[in-house]
């Protein structure tokens, strides 16, 4: 599992890799809070993320809402095919990109 | 990693045994919520463990079972015999899969799918579809036609309000898909902005249309699994209705209010919960038997070394050293007792295997048998437990096959249709007694007599005693069964049972009343390893007897000796005549000049007076097998190492008694007749 946040003048790049289980959600939540405190356009890079606990999905949606409140976008790069298929099948992908 | 796998296999086998016991008890006593919960927990733990070890087939199968059990649990359904059979079959399949994982890794079994399908049918109240044969046969085609067709359901799923490592709605949806096809799925939520988010609260819910041939209760069970408080609604869709979820706005469908969790923050929840769980479970640990055996062997060596020290102590004048050796002796004795206690296991470990066997054997033979288990808490050395498994299995099968009658026969005999088979254990006189009793037809002694005549063991004119006839049962080749079954009746077995029991230093006896039943009693020593012994000296040689067999010792007066017949002598012990055995003669030493002592020994209610030169003293002895290290020597049950380093033989009191009572003579006569 890897959660990496890179900041630049143009915005944040949040890289997620491996598997985000429930034990890792807290770290993801703290990183998301860090973004929300100093909001900038953010891009999620997660082509190497294979699985995510539902609690992690909620954090990403909540981050999207927080950024939206500042009229800032949360962009998702193309996820790994299996993860995308799962998120799409259970209606979560739509909720994420709408947030 | 090997240790981890071993732990997994050990735990799995315990769980399977537990599941089997619960299923049998449910069948016997009917369902009660706590027992069904226990069954469910076993399946749940098994699923988790096998998934953790990477055995996905096992995990998936047990997940299916868990779901079926969840239906039983939630809906408090009665456990029908069909369900019990299927669940017991499932336990067998898991056991077989488990064994295969040792060599083949993560393997599946087509039987898993069949059992799950049949469980689903039983839960729906439908008759079980037979196991499909080869797909190309017409019969198989027929079977396929009778399989239930998929039905569409509308499923509303609101997960439990608190998320956890075990409660991941996405995981549950994934598992749900193993049992249905999700045709449509709508996610609704009230996820707040980040500053208001509680990471462990669930803000989402799902509405789905699914198609499945499984019982909807199974779908419900999957979604309600792992967390309390989930809400699941499942409604069948009318066959002509379109599989579409009613367009529902967020305000009506996403009414999931995040319930404030009592957990202060997500930081502590995942890390502290398992730790606290471990704390409550840390009262026992699992230790490999090899480690205990190694510890025990070491203690045995310490006992020998202690014995050497004690011997040297007598020549020691230093008071402090003498005291230290005495204290050491006490501690070594306690150490030995404590290590012995680790090796002791309740006999329930062995007895618990039998309810299933009794049930299956009785069903196979069309008999009704009630198994009564008594004294299952009696503790026995682990080595003995394992060694007794085969003999007891044989005795129990025999009792059901030959002893207990069919319900019809029992009715005719004025007995209840259900026969009673009692398996009991208790400790007495330093030995463990195990009994197998049945209230069946008993042994037909006339048939035994005829069989013995056929085999040439008796002539037509012989009128052997009841005991002699019963003793024939333990001779190789005798079976009075009219029909040979695959269970017993081939005349092979009871002699092997006797030999096995005797190799453990035990004895087996048989009592039977025709029409009333049969009782087999096995007596074995508490342990095969260390015991308290009494050292005996004869002709300068040192021998030992188990202290538990010693009744008394005295110096005989000449009048107490009486010769009887040609070869036997008896001694008058307080008015009773006890057979006398001169140990020097028995072991082939020249007669002693000393006046000597008489030691009265008793085993199985029979006594013998052993004439020796003197008593050496009492000591702990570590028993070393003669058979394993040398050869079996008649009259001796083993050997030990003495404090001075010499080897001493341990007398087999049972055999001495048989010898003195002329049992060997009978055996020789039988052998000659054979």
ipTM of the assembly?
Answer: 0.94
Nearest CA in chain B to A68: B193
Q: What is the mean pLDDT of chain B?
A: 78
**Between B653 and B69, residue with greater pLDDT:** B653
B206 to chain A, closest Cα gap in Å: 8
Nearest CA in chain A to B195: A33
Report CA-CA distances (Å) from B253 to B155, B242, B374, B484: 13, 20, 58, 69
Tokens of B193: 């902005």
Which B positions 156-185 lie with beta carbon below 8 A of chain A? 159, 163-165, 168-170, 173-174, 182, 185
For each of the domains in chain A, give its residue range(s) and CATH number, in order of start.
Answer: 2-81 (3.30.750.24)
Query: Cα(B496)–Cα(B480) distance, rounded to whole angstroms?
Result: 16
pLDDT in tens, B226-250: 567 888 888 888 654 444 554 443 3
* Cβ-based burial of B75 (10 A; exposed 0-12, middle 13-18, buried ≥19): exposed
Long-range pairs, B337-344, Cβ under 8 A, ≥24: B339/B292, B339/B295, B339/B296, B339/B299, B340/B296, B340/B381, B340/B527, B340/B529, B340/B530, B342/B292, B342/B295, B342/B296, B343/B292, B343/B296, B343/B381, B343/B382, B343/B383, B343/B527, B343/B529, B344/B379, B344/B380, B344/B381, B344/B382
In which element (H, E) is residue B173 found? helix B169-176
Q: What is the band of B251 on the pLDDT scale with cuts at 50, 70, 90? A: very low
A19 to chain B, closest Cα gap in Å: 13
Cβ pair B197:A62 closer than 8 A: yes
pLDDT for the residue B632: 74
pLDDT in tens, B399-429: 998 899 999 999 999 999 999 999 999 987 6
Cβ pair B192:A61 closer than 8 A: no
pLDDT for the residue B637: 81
pLDDT in tens, A38-96: 999 999 999 999 999 999 999 999 999 999 999 999 999 888 888 988 898 899 988 88
Query: Cα(B403)–Cα(B518) distance, rounded to whole angstroms?
Result: 7
Query: For residue B625, what are the contacts with CB-CB under 8 A and spacing of at least 6?
Result: B638
Q: Is the dihedral of CA B332, B333, B338, B340 positive or negative?
A: positive
Nearest to A51 by CA among A83, A25, A99: A83
Side by side, the strands of the sheet bearing B204-212 are B181-189, B204-212, B151-158, B231-236
pLDDT in tens, B91-118: 888 988 888 888 888 888 888 888 888 8
Tokens of B642: 């003495």
Nearest to B71 by CA among B122, B27, B113: B122
Backbone angles phi, psi at B655, to 5 degrees: -70, -35
Query: Cα(B496)–Cα(B614) distance, rounded to whole angstroms?
Result: 39
Give start and end residues of each alpha helix (H) in B192-288.
Answer: 216-224, 250-253, 269-281
Q: Is the dihedral of CA B130, B135, B139, B143 positive or negative?
A: positive
**What are the residues of chain A with a beta carbon less than 8 Å away from any beta carbon of chain B?**
21-23, 25-26, 29, 32-33, 36, 52-55, 57-59, 61-63, 65-66, 69, 86, 89-92, 94-95, 99
- Who among A33, A66, A91 is closest to B206 (CB)? A91
DSSP class of residue B629 equals H
pLDDT for the residue A11: 92
Cβ pair A26:B193 closer than 8 A: no
Q: What percent of chain B stands above pLDDT 70?
A: 79
């Amino acid at each position: 599992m890897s959660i990496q946040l890179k900041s630049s003048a143009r915005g944040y790049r949040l890289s997620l890799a491996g598997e985000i289980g429930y034990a890792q959600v807290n770290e993801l939540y703290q990183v998301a809070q860090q973004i929300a405190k100093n909001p900038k356009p953010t891009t999620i890079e997660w082509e190497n993320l294979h699985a995510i606990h539902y609690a992690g999905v909620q954090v990403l949606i909540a981050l999207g809402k927080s950024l939206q409140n500042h009229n800032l976008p949360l962009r998702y790069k193309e996820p790994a095919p299996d993860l995308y298929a799962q998120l799409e099948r259970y209606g979560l992908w739509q909720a994420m990109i709408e947030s | 990693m090997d240790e981890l796998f071993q732990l997994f296999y050990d735990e799995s086998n315990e769980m399977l045994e537990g599941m089997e016991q619960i299923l049998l008890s449910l069948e016997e006593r009917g369902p009660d919520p706590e027992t069904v919960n226990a069954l469910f927990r076993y399946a749940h733990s098994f699923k988790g463990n096998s998934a953790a070890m990477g055995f996905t087939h096992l995990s998936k199968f047990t997940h299916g079972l868990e779901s079926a059990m969840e239906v039983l649990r939630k809906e408090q359904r009665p456990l029908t015999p069909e369900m019990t059979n299927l669940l017991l079959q499932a336990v067998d399949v898991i056991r077989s899969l488990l064994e295969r994982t040792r060599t083949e890794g993560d393997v599946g079994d087509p039987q898993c799918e069949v059992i799950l399908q049949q469980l689903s049918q039983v839960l729906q109240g439908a008759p079980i579809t037979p196991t499909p044969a080869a797909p190309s046969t017409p019969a198989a085609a027929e079977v396929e036609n009778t399989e239930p067709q998929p039905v569409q359901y509308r499923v509303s799923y609101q997960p439990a309000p608190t998320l956890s490592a075990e409660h991941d709605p996405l995981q549950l949806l994934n598992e749900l898909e193993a049992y249905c096809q999700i045709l449509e799925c709508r996610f609704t939520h009230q996820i707040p902005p980040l500053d208001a988010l509680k990471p462990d609260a669930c803000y989402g819910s799902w509405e789905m249309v699914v198609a499945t041939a499984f019982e909807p209760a199974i779908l419900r069970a999957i979604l309600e699994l792992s967390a309390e408080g989930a809400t699941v609604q499942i409604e069948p869709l009318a066959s002509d209705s379109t599989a579409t979820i009613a367009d529902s706005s967020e305000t009506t469908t996403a009414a999931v209010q995040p319930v404030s969790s009592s957990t202060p923050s997500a930081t502590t929840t995942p890390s502290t919960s398992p730790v606290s769980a471990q704390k409550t479970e840390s009262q026992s640990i699992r230790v490999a038997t090899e480690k205990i055996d190694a510890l025990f062997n070491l203690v045995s060596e310490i006992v020998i070394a202690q014995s050497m020290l004690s011997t040297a102590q007598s020549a020691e004048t230093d008071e402090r050293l003498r005291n230290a050796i005495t204290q050491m002796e006490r501690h070594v004795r306690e150490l030995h007792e404590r290590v012995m206690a680790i090796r002791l296991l309740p006999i329930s470990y062995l007895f618990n295997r039998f309810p299933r066997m009794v049930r299956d054997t009785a069903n196979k033979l069309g008999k009704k048998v009630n198994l009564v288990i008594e004294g299952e808490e009696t503790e026995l050395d682990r080595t003995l437990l394992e060694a007794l498994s085969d003999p007891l299995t044989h005795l129990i099968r025999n009792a059901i096959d030959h002893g207990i009658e069919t319900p019809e026969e029992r009715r005719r005999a004025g007995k209840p249709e259900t026969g009673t088979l009692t398996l009991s254990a208790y400790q007495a006189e330093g030995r463990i007694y195990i009994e197998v009793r049945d209230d069946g037809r008993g042994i037909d002694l006339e048939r035994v007599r005829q069989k013995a005549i056929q085999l040439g063991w008796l002539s037509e004119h012989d009128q052997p005693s009841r005991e002699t006839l019963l003793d024939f049962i333990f001779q190789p080749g005798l079976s009075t069964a009219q029909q040979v079954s695959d269970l017993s009746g081939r005349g092979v077995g009871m002699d092997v049972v006797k030999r096995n029991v005797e190799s453990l230093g035990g004895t087996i006896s048989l009592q039977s009343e025709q029409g009333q039943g049969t009782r087999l009693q096995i007596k074995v020593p508490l342990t095969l390893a260390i015991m308290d012994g009494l050292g005996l000296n004869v002709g300068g040689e040192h021998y030992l007897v188990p202290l538990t067999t010693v009744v008394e010792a005295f110096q005989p007066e000449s009048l107490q000796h009486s010769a009887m017949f040609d070869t036997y002598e008896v001694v008058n012990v307080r008015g009773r005549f006890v057979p006398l055995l001169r140990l020097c003669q028995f072991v082939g030493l020249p007669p002693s000049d000393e006046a000597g002592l008489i030691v009265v020994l008793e085993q199985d209610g029979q006594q013998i007076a052993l004439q020796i030169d003197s008593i050496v003293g009492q000591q702990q002895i570590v028993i070393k097998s003669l058979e394993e290290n040398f050869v079996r020597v008649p009259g001796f049950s083993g050997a030990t190492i003495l404090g001075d380093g010499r080897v001493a033989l341990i007398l087999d009191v049972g055999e001495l008694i048989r010898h003195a009572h002329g049992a060997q003579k009978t055996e020789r006569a039988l052998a000659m007749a054979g």
